[in-house]
Amino acid sequence: MICRRFGSKPLLTRCHLPQMPPEIVDASSVFNPGAMAIDGVTYLLLRVQTRGRRTFLVPAHSHDGAEFRVAQRPVQLLGLDGLSGSGLHVYHVYDPRITVMEDRIHVVTAMDTDRGCRLAIWRTAGNPGSGFAGLDNLMLVGLVRGSPDGTSGVSSGHENTRNGVLFPERIDGRYAMLHRPNGPQSDGPASGNTIVFSQSDDLRIWDTGRAVLSGRPHYWDELIGSGPPPLKTEKGWLHVYHGVATHFQSVNIYQAGAVLLDLADPTRVLGRTRDNLLEPREGWEVTGQVPNVVFPSGWVADTLDDAGHASLDSRVRIYYGAADTVVARADTTVAELISACE
């Protein structure tokens, strides 16, 4: 078993959330967390849904990566007012992916709007000494978009994309991101089958994505999307993604696998797992708000080498949402993930 579940139950359920009136009272679910570690402390950014099906992000932190203290109030999202000036109405900000880059904490979220699903990039704005590393206030850097003259666009000129993850460093001097444009689906929520690589000079205007990997029809990963941000190793960028099997009569099954990308040119796939590495099996994964979902969205490698790579023998803690209802953890190592890709 390459990904081993931590303990016999989820790490966080709705019961772990404090009451945060007026926004969050008797929450329905907590799932799909972003994750990072700073100075030995693990931070999660939780997606919390209320009974009104409103969405909030709530920070949590832990000294052992297992028992988390959840903040007493949701994240304040700053800078959204500027968007309403443009007439854009935002319904939900969700599925945060955290990347520490150039000593700053960056968060990429999906954003459901009256003009489809967008990606938003945020930076911490608050006081890093707050106990949640400043995650309690996020300032909008911008929405991911193509160039105003239409010569480039994150998804062929229109910005309907999801599952965005920033690389932790520039590549060829430019910011780099993987994301997954939403393609036309016959029914159900917007999704897609190709993860693309885009670059930007300012985190706002992104060039047209170049395809990195696509879904494999009939198998476990027919539709795909990035999981946590890529992890730098001496062998390449290690990346976990979710795959959706859509060929079952009555249910879509969300699983997770991995891919290894070339360090200099992340559009070059060096290896990819044939089988999934994590699939819904436990009760809390097969039953819940959306049954049969494991959705990795954050991870932490415990040891880095002198060059800043995640060491091959490093443990990796994967934090994932299960059944869009709870947060769970599965552990593995860098070496095991890489060999599964080969």
Q: Which of 295, 299, 319, 320 binds ligand BMA (CB under 6 A)?
A: 295
Q: Find the shortest distance in angstroms from Cβ 89 to ligand BMA.
A: 19
Q: Torsion angle of alpha carbons 283, 287, 289, 295, nearest 10°?
A: 60
Euclidean distance between CA atoms 310 and 335, whole angstroms: 10
Q: Does 294 bind ligand BMA (CB under 6 A)?
A: no
Closer Cβ to ligand BMA, 32 or 311, answer by number = 32
Q: Find the shortest distance in angstroms from Cβ 90 to ligand BMA.
A: 16
Closer Cβ to ligand BMA, 104 or 247, answer by number = 247
Contact present, 164 and 226 (Cβ < 8 Å)? yes
Closer Cβ to ligand BMA, 95 or 302, answer by number = 95
Q: Find the shortest distance in angstroms from Cβ 339 to ligand BMA.
A: 28
Q: Find the shortest distance in angstroms from Cβ 169 to ligand BMA.
A: 27
Phi, psi (rounded to 5 degrees) for 254: -95, 125
Q: Does 197 bind ligand BMA (CB under 6 A)?
A: no
Q: Does 324 bind ligand BMA (CB under 6 A)?
A: yes
Q: Find the shortest distance in angstroms from Cβ 95 to ligand BMA.
A: 5
Binding mask 252-291 for ligand BMA (x = CB under 6 A): --x-----------------------------------x-
Closer Cβ to ligand BMA, 289 or 303, answer by number = 289
SS3 14: helix
Q: Does 193 bind ligand BMA (CB under 6 A)?
A: no
Q: Does 189 bind ligand BMA (CB under 6 A)?
A: yes
**The two three-digit tokens of residue 246, written as one number:** 């859509």
Q: Which of 215, 228, 296, 321 binds ligand BMA (CB under 6 A)?
A: 321
Q: Does 191 bind ligand BMA (CB under 6 A)?
A: yes
Euclidean distance between CA atoms 333 and 42, whole angstroms: 17
Closer Cβ to ligand BMA, 191 or 276, answer by number = 191
Q: Does 220 bind ligand BMA (CB under 6 A)?
A: no
Euclidean distance between CA atoms 50 and 29, whole angstroms: 7
DSSP string, 281-341: -SHHHHSSSSSSBEEEEEEEES-B-TTSPBPTT-EEEEEEEETTTEEEEEEEEHHHHHHHH
Contact present, 73 and 17 (Cβ < 8 Å)? no
**The two three-digit tokens of residue 192, written as one number:** 């897609």
Of 10, 149, 141, which Cα lies nearest the Cα of 67? 10
DSSP string, 202-234: SSSBBPPPEEEEE--TTSTTSEEEE-SPPEEET
Closer Cβ to ligand BMA, 254 or 299, answer by number = 254
Q: Does 311 bind ligand BMA (CB under 6 A)?
A: no
| Residue count, binding to ligand BMA (CB under 6 A) | 10
Judged by the rule CB under 6 A, the positions of this chain that interact with ligand BMA are 32, 95, 189, 191, 254, 290, 293, 295, 321, 324
